[in-house]
Structure 1
């Protein structure tokens, strides 16, 4: 009796997960630099959601509902070298993109980073920028999946694409009339830091920390989602006044904020009331989470949330009929806050 062997069908092969260890690339200074970028990366061979990691033409991931977003950081617009260390520049670039995953309550898988760097930076400076990107990804529960490297005549540009899994994505359109409006953490710290730096002053240490190493609220969003507390959400990259407008427009509701309930960062609370509100509502780059939930749903979980994450949850208003973002007083009278979020084309107010 003879055994007849048939040719192996590639479709029969089990998926080969990414192997931990050094990335094998060809020779050349560009690839030498990439090897330095990837040195010390978290071993991804044990991750079932990463089938192919860095080193091939594409990363390959697996998940139930792949969430994708991208965020670009441009020198002179999003960061300045005299304000931030290279690792902080990379961390902020990655954190801004990872915050988009928090907004839909996605679980991070990893990031792809495209770096355009002047020739003078293609050494330790670029390596430290990439280390900051990788550290932010790993802090959020993801890994560096790969990216691209190119020479730039200047300025430096960092483009970060995030990849996550969102089997039940939370959308801006899920808010309902009567929902409470909540925010995580405190608002205005990053803006207070920028204000001080622009004035040539040393910012308060806690404000600089909020600016230099913002924490995307990905774990917090997962926690809230697991308890059924998210009807709609948005991350606060451009300021509460501007970003809440997106929930209002997508859900066909008005966001009614109570100014006295805003959780203002201590560095912003030191300002006069008008300036304090401008920093908290329009300063941007807090990367906190704004979400809506049914009346009474969140309060029973607020203490446990604070114990788990070390930050508070604050109810700052509710949703009503109409559109836009308004201040509301105890009698229900609405007034315009007179503050909008940051806009790249048109400036901020």
Structure 2
């Protein structure tokens, strides 16, 4: 039997001539770097990766639903779609390996427009420590759609289901700026520059999640894509605990505080604006507080305890006496409740 040397991913794809394949060649770097966790890269029928506990997640972005071309550059569209998928890897404290990207695009975009989208996607993957592993491209009748599959390694994944009564609830960063940008654009107002940056260039908290997990802090974790109100409800349902939030502790982004019509409106954006791509996680009572300043020095973002896990289910406001009141907010949902 004839032996065969495995392909070197750094050699690049070997594709036959044709307009579609010429476009795919333009998506990829000219000189890819070999890495031990990618055995077969882009250009074959499958990418082949190595790792201990392969983590997989996919995230779709559709023009007119997740983004608008008059709000973002094409590179920002690709970057943002990729960051959303990579944020799911952060939620389980995975190390990124790479991304698979499928593009459905109108014929008029099958040139530099597509190349710019993929440039943004590739750069986002590389800045997170991953590579472009491959994907697909097809013609669409009207609108651009981007489907990103993120691939990572998670030998000890942090799940949504590990929170226990008495755990503290923490969040990274500051919330609400992406939601503020959307509201400003829909209203035809001049957007706040910091809010636009948070919307156009979200930073998945991959390094932060691994820092926390390596020290054994998170008992349960989720990324904040639909807003703290909705995503904390998922953590509550998976762990079988209630999430009790203190409104005065919620870390609201300064741009939201500058522009919100009221304190209530600022709180609404922080909890339900969505697309913050921060982390929400639980930790044992008192375990993390001594390390919070070290985290902030390391990553330059806040780490805030916003409440506790208690008995029952759902997400509630709580006061110093332990009294609960309904949150009255939900995260973003693509579909209405069935009637």
**Contact 1:111–1:163 (CA<8 Å) still a contact in 2?**
yes
* Counterpart for residue 174 of structure 2: 186
Q: Secondary structure at the match of 2:78?
A: helix
Residues 303-347 of structure 1 deviation map (CA, whole Å, 9 limit, x = unaligned): 111111110100000000000000001111101111110000029
Residues 142-168 of structure 1 deviation map (CA, whole Å, 9 limit, x = unaligned): 000000000111211100001000000
Greater Rg by CA: 1
Q: 2:232 aligns with which of 219, 241, 244?
A: 244
* Counterpart for residue 285 of structure 1: 275
- Aligned equivalents of 1:154, 1:202: Cα separation in 2: 28
Q: Secondary structure at the match of 2:213?
A: helix
* Counterpart for residue 142 of structure 1: 130
Residues 275-314 of structure 1 deviation map (CA, whole Å, 9 limit, x = unaligned): 1111000010000000000011111111111111110100
Q: Secondary structure at the match of 2:313?
A: coil
**Contact 2:12–2:30 (CA<8 Å) still a contact in 1?**
no
Is residue 233 of structure 1 aligned with residue 225 of structure 2? no
* Counterpart for residue 300 of structure 2: 310
CA shift, 1:211, in A, is 0.2
**Contact 1:18–1:44 (CA<8 Å) still a contact in 2?**
no
Is residue 325 of structure 1 aligned with residue 315 of structure 2? yes
CA shift, 1:17, in A, is 5.8
- Aligned equivalents of 1:143, 1:230: Cα separation in 2: 27
Q: 1:172 aligns with which of 150, 154, 160?
A: 160
* Counterpart for residue 33 of structure 2: 44
Is residue 276 of structure 1 aligned with residue 266 of structure 2? yes
Is residue 213 of structure 1 aligned with residue 204 of structure 2? no
- Aligned equivalents of 1:40, 1:324: Cα separation in 2: 50
Q: Secondary structure at the match of 1:172?
A: coil
**Contact 2:229–2:272 (CA<8 Å) still a contact in 1?**
yes
**Contact 2:9–2:38 (CA<8 Å) still a contact in 1?**
no
Q: Secondary structure at the match of 1:173?
A: coil
- How many matched pairs? 335
* Counterpart for residue 69 of structure 2: 81
* Counterpart for residue 4 of structure 1: none
**Contact 1:44–1:50 (CA<8 Å) still a contact in 2?**
no
Stretches of structure 1 lacking an aligned partner (at least 5 in a row): 1-6
Residues 1:40 and 1:204: Cα distance change in structure 2 (over 3 Å):
farther
**Contact 1:44–1:143 (CA<8 Å) still a contact in 2?**
no
* Counterpart for residue 110 of structure 1: 98
- Per the normalisation by structure 1, the TM-score is 0.94
* Counterpart for residue 121 of structure 2: 133
Stretches of structure 2 lacking an aligned partner (at least 5 in a row): none
**Contact 2:9–2:42 (CA<8 Å) still a contact in 1?**
no
- Aligned equivalents of 1:111, 1:160: Cα separation in 2: 7
**Contact 1:64–1:166 (CA<8 Å) still a contact in 2?**
yes
- Per the normalisation by structure 2, the TM-score is 0.96
* Counterpart for residue 3 of structure 1: none
Residues 1:261 and 1:40: Cα distance change in structure 2 (over 3 Å):
farther
* Counterpart for residue 20 of structure 2: 30
* Counterpart for residue 285 of structure 2: 295
Q: CA RMSD in A?
A: 1.3
**Contact 1:102–1:216 (CA<8 Å) still a contact in 2?**
yes
